[in-house]
Amino acid sequence: MNFSIEKLCEELQKYKKKEESLETEQLGFPQVVKYVWEDTSTTNIDFDSFTIEDVNKASYELAAIPLQWDDGGENFTCDPTNAYMQYHLISEVLWTMLNTEQKRYLPDKDDFFI
């Protein structure tokens, strides 16, 4: 049996995903989560940064957050695998790092935190 690696590589190139599409797929959903969680005004939302599929995925993720009702009102139950909870935890860590009184690092004007 003859096997040509060059021929195999040529055939596999037909099915290779483009790098740009991978980046676009990965960036839209977190943008929607950020806009929803931070209650961003519509004037500050870049609607070209995500697709309708990203919005649908974020909507399902938001609906999956378990809620409890008590006499005081609605409470979130922390599900660490939920994208909104992960965003909240990461942003809380960044806020704490920037606002801790005894921090060892002082940000410069050139520093940029996402």
Neighbour-count burial of 43, counting CB atoms closer than 10 A to its CB (0-12 exposed, 13-18 middle, 19+ buried) = exposed
User: Can you give the pLDDT at residue 69?
Assistant: 63
Helices (H) and strands (E) in the chain, counts: 4, 2
- Write down the pTM of the prediction: 0.58
User: Can you give the pLDDT at residue 66?
Assistant: 72
Query: Which two three-digit tokens encode residue 63?
Result: 């609906």
- Cα dihedral: 84, 86, 92, 97 (round 10): -150
| Domain extent listing, the chain | 23-99
Distance CA 57, CA 100 (A): 35
Q: What does the pLDDT look like over 41-88, one tens digit per residue?
A: 999 998 988 899 999 999 998 888 776 666 666 666 677 788 888 888
User: Can you give the pLDDT at residue 41?
Assistant: 92
Q: What does the pLDDT look like over 26-40, one tens digit per residue?
A: 788 999 999 998 999
Question: Cα 29 from chain centroid?
Answer: 6
